[in-house]
Amino acid sequence: RAFQGDSTVEGLREDLANRLWSLFQRTSTQEWPWFEDSVTYCNARLSQALIVSGTRMHRTEIVDAGLRSLDWLVSLQVSHDGDFAPIGCNGFLSRGGAAAAFDQQPVEACTVTSACLTAHGITGDARWMVSASSAFEWFLGQNSLQQWLYDASTGGCCDGLHAERRNRNQGAESTLSFLLALAEMRTVHPTVIQPERALAFPLTT
């Protein structure tokens, strides 16, 4: 949006979007609608890139690929209790294999929240808002261990979820992941943080 009308930037966007779409076309199948033979890190950004770029380029086939891959990714990341459960970094997921349950990373909750909000904005389909909310609530205890990753006493976010505990370190990537997800959720749902979940400091979005 910032460079709308700049032919150089728009040409670069088209080139990159076509490359990503080509990867999806070459690798995806009915059972594996993905861009490569593994699902690893910041996964939802790939789908989101197609949804955003395809929309700006008026390419419905690219948007559809983004939505299809995101729908599949979301379906993989649900616990037995129905909570968001991102693919873990201790093994990730390879085609034909099982997804690693842990360690679950804040960046995955952030990117799924963002991508689903984008999908909702494009399609108007309420189920994407449900998926975005589920991913965001992962930070607030709706996860495999029912433990908060966001720490209201510091304003930080724990670095991940192990099989038996939180990683209590609060690094920059994790904290920014929470704050980015919070900022995006607030654009569509200003009361997403209730009084009992108040931030330790004011956040301007």
H/E segment holding residue 65: helix 60-76
Q: Rounded to an integer, what distance in angstroms lies between the CA atom of residue 126 and that of residue 5?
A: 32
pLDDT in tens, 41-89: 999 999 999 999 999 999 999 999 999 999 999 999 999 999 999 999 9
Q: Is the peptide bond before 103 cis (omega within 30 degrees of 0)?
A: yes
Low-confidence ranges of the chain (pLDDT < 50): 195-205
Using an 8 Å Cβ cutoff, are 51 and 60 in contact?
A: no
Q: Rounded to an integer, what distance in angstroms lies between the CA atom of residue 29 and that of residue 69?
A: 11
Q: Compute the Cα dihedral for 136, 142, 146, 152 and give only its sign.
A: positive
The DSSP symbol for 158 reads -
Which structure tokens are listed for 35? 């861009």
Whole-number pLDDT of residue 107: 98
